[in-house]
Amino acid sequence: SQTIHQWPATLVQPVGSPLSLECTVEGTSNPNLYWYRQAAGRGLQLLFYSVGIGQISSEVPQNLSASRPQDRQFILSSKKLLLSDSGFYLCAWSVPGDQPQHFGDGTRLSIL
């Protein structure tokens, strides 16, 4: 069966520090991969999605970036975090095509 792992579960970082959140999927090949951010009590904002290694589409211009160095690995990064980067970050995968998404358990990021 397929599983998705996302870490860390919680992270507290100072303003201006770098960020690296990692997401890996097991049990499937060539998945579509997604990074979302969820503000408290709000819906999901799509940040990045990827349909293959090295292929990243950005939905929202900001100081975050994403990379897909391997087929089942998706990384969310920042060189310098802002206070506004605080939130709940979710990674998801789906089979290519018109299929449901499967989410990780998220990372709660607090910027101080």
Partner 1 sequence: SQQGEEDPQALSIQEGENATMNCSYKTSINNLQWYRQNSGRGLVHLILIRSNEREKHSGRLRVTLDTSKKSSSLLITASRAADTASYFCATRSGGGSYIPTFGRGTSLIVHP
Binding stretches for partner 1 (CB under 8 A): 6, 32, 34, 41-44, 46, 49, 88, 90, 92, 94, 96-106, 108
Least distance CB 6 / partner 1 (angstroms): 8
Least distance CB 47 / partner 1 (angstroms): 12
Strand-strand pairing, 87-94 and 32-38: antiparallel
**At 8, is the secondary structure helix, strand, or coil?**
coil
Distances (CA, A) of 7 to 3, 69, 80, 97: 13, 17, 19, 26
Closer to partner 1 at the Cβ: 74 or 104? 104
Least distance CB 56 / partner 1 (angstroms): 13
Identify the CA nearest to 47 among candidates 17, 25, 77, 72: 77
Closer to partner 1 at the Cβ: 81 or 90? 90
